[in-house]
Amino acid sequence: MDLMSIIDMVRQALGPIFIAGLQVTIPLTIVSFILALIIAGITAVSRISNSRILRFVFATYVWIFRGTPLIVQLFIAYFGLASLGLTLDAWTAAVITFGLNSGAYASEAIRAAILSISNGQWDAARSLGMSRLKILQRIIAPQAFRIALPPLFNELISLVKGTSLAASITLVEMFLVSQRVAARTYQPLIMYIVVAFFYLMISTILVGIQSYLEKRTTKHVGGNTHA
């Protein structure tokens, strides 16, 4: 097999994989991650609340979703629930599963960030007469956001890669497309390298966004990197 035909094959594979990335992998990641952040925020705040019940419920959620394989969670959501008559389409099952799974990890990052803010900040805000919710929103969240940023981006990057598991519940995302092209062309090595390259590109862009955000938010909070 000569170089020209390899190049030709790669070129033919690029289009479909790229489209799958644009139409499925990226939107799936974004929607799932937004869901994950909402769940994570609620979970983190509940886990530092005074309510035992809330703390227990959300700790249990984190325990389950961190303690079981993502692919098993996907199978339960897609195949398992269907057997109970609760049929989710692959896209919905994937968004819910990724949202809950990432949410569990992200909640730990956010919780740790909140806990790392000194009690003195709480005291200062309390002494102004601010309510707990106001303090979280106005004083703690902006500082915690900065601290949680790196672990949250870790989570986002592993989510991007994790979306490839959705291939196993028939969602036609980048990895499934590459599998199909590989089967058709009998070139698994080349095709899987191509799809790996796509994931690498997305991750690289995310790393860039991360360092941009870090530079913007580090100015006055934490760290000592201000100019």
Partner 1 sequence: MLSLKDINVSFDQQQVLKDFSADFNENQTTVIVGPSGSGKSTLLRTINLLNYPTSGTLNLNQTSFVFPKQYPAKEVSHYRQNFGMVFQNFELFPHLSALGNVIEGPIQVLKQSKTAATEKAKVLLEQVGLAQKADSFPNELSGGQQQRVAIARALAMEPEFILYDEPTSALDPELEGEVLKVIKDLAKKRNSQIVVTHNLNFAKEIADHILFLEDGQVNYYGLAEGFFSSKNERIKNFTKKMMS
Of the two residues 62 and 139, which places its CB atom closer to partner 1 in the complex? 139
Q: How far apart are CA 126 and CA 128, in angstroms?
A: 5
* DSSP letters spanning 135-165: HIIIIIHHHHHHHHHHHHHHHHHHHHHHGGG
Among 42, 70, 71, 221, binds partner 1 (CB under 8 A): 221
Q: How far apart are CA 88 and CA 74, in angstroms?
A: 11
Residue count at the site for partner 1 (CB under 8 A)?
Answer: 24
Q: Min. distance of Cβ 94 from partner 1 in angstroms?
A: 36
Q: Min. distance of Cβ 79 from partner 1 in angstroms?
A: 46
Among 90, 139, 160, 174, binds partner 1 (CB under 8 A): 139
Q: Give every CB contact of residue 172 below 8 A, 6+ residues apart in sequence.
A: 20, 24
Q: What is the CA radius of gyration of the chain?
A: 21
Structure tokens at 44: 């983190």
Q: Min. distance of Cβ 212 from partner 1 in angstroms?
A: 18
Among 130, 196, 206, 213, binds partner 1 (CB under 8 A): 130
What's at 66, amino acid-wise? Answer: R
Q: Min. distance of Cβ 40 from partner 1 in angstroms?
A: 21
Binding flag, residue 48, partner 1 (CB under 8 A): no
Q: How far apart are CA 25 and CA 91, in angstroms?
A: 11
Binding flag, residue 123, partner 1 (CB under 8 A): yes
Binding flag, residue 129, partner 1 (CB under 8 A): yes
- Rule CB under 8 A: which residues touch partner 1? 118, 120-121, 123-132, 134, 138-139, 142-143, 219-222, 224, 226
